């Protein structure tokens, strides 16, 4: 029994050490999920902060352009990054947390454009119908796996979702891939006179979950992830996660 107790204390020690320091996390301006201008920093920021708070760990969230935020976590210069879609194959140097809810994501076009997209239960019935169309994506984002991997598709990369949406409105791309809630938030904030010009193609291609990711190269990565997952389970069990979903309108 004494040996088991000792092993338990040794296993818990790194988590206690984490509780004595502040973790630094990188993210981006991605309303309604993350933004310095939103209450609680946005929905995803509120979830991540609440999960760490549930295990007595303080976090500081720093906002960067996505490519910079991703570079920092890959280099191990921050303790973690959020929110990220789940795709370990495209992020082999990162560890993924347990999931928390996100919103729908899919293709968006100008309402006036008549594009030959045939939708089944899970999105377009094969991406050959997108050939010849210019598809706007954000550099460094994880999108639909086929949009990221099909070499025959014509991709046009933007620095962020706002620029991508601006390109669509200007007719510089035929379609963009974007989280639907992000598209609606950006339209309300930056393009209020153009909201009726945009069509969110239904059904969405994805209903992705969101994740915290941590760099494998950091010695404390597994402990950071373990602490977050434990905190996430606590706020899921006590109802706080659902309250955050409802409060932020997901």
Q: Choose the CATH number for 2-102+209-247 among 2.40.50.140, 3.40.190.10, 3.40.50.300, 3.30.70.580.
A: 3.40.190.10
Give yes or no on whether 2-102+209-247 and 105-200 have one common fold. yes
Decide: 182 and 30 in contact? Cβ < 8 Å.
yes
Please tell me the pTM assigned to this model: 0.88
| Residues above pLDDT 90, as percent of the chain | 78
Q: What is the mean pLDDT of residues 109-130?
A: 73
| Residues above pLDDT 70, as percent of the chain | 88
pLDDT of res. 21: 75
pLDDT of res. 176: 97
pLDDT of res. 128: 75
Does the pLDDT of residue 105 top 60, yes or no?
yes
**Domains of the chain, residue spans:** 2-102+209-247, 105-200
Q: With cut-offs at 50, 70 and 90, classify the pLDDT of residue 1.
A: very low
Give 218's contacts (C-beta < 8 A, 6+ positions apart): 76, 79, 224
Q: With cut-offs at 50, 70 and 90, classify the pLDDT of residue 119.
A: low
Class of domain 105-200: alpha beta
Query: 193-231: per-residue pLDDT in tens?
Result: 999 999 999 889 999 999 999 999 999 999 999 999 999
Rounded to 10 deg, the angle between the 240-247 and 43-54 helix axes is 160
Does the pLDDT of residue 4 top 50, yes or no?
no
Query: 63-89: per-residue pLDDT in tens?
Result: 999 999 999 999 999 999 999 999 999
């Amino acid at each position: 029994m004494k040996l088991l107790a000792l092993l338990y204390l040794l296993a818990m020690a790194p988590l206690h050490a984490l509780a004595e320091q502040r973790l630094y996390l990188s993210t981006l301006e991605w309303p309604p999920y993350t933004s310095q201008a939103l209450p609680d920093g946005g929905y995803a920021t509120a979830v991540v902060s609440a999960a760490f708070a549930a295990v007595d760990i303080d976090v500081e969230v720093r906002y960067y352009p996505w490519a910079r935020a991703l570079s920092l976590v890959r280099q191990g210069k921050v303790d973690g990054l959020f929110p990220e879609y789940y795709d370990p194959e495209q992020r082999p140097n990162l560890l993924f947390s347990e999931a928390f809810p996100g919103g729908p994501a899919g293709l968006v076009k100008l309402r006036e454009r008549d594009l030959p997209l045939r939708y089944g239960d899970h999105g377009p019935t094969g991406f050959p119908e997108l050939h010849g169309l210019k598809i706007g994506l954000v550099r460094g984002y994880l999108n639909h796996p086929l949009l990221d991997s099909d070499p025959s598709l014509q991709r046009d990369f933007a620095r962020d979702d706002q620029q991508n949406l601006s390109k669509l409105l200007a007719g510089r791309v035929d379609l963009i891939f974007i989280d639907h809630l992000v598209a609606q938030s950006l339209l309300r904030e930056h393009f209020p006179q153009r909201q009726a010009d945009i069509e969110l193609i239904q059904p969405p291609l994805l209903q992705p979950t969101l994740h915290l990711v941590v760099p494998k190269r950091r010695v404390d990565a597994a402990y950071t992830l373990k602490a977050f997952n434990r905190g996430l389970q606590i706020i899921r069990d006590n109802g706080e996660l659902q309250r955050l979903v409802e409060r932020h309108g997901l």
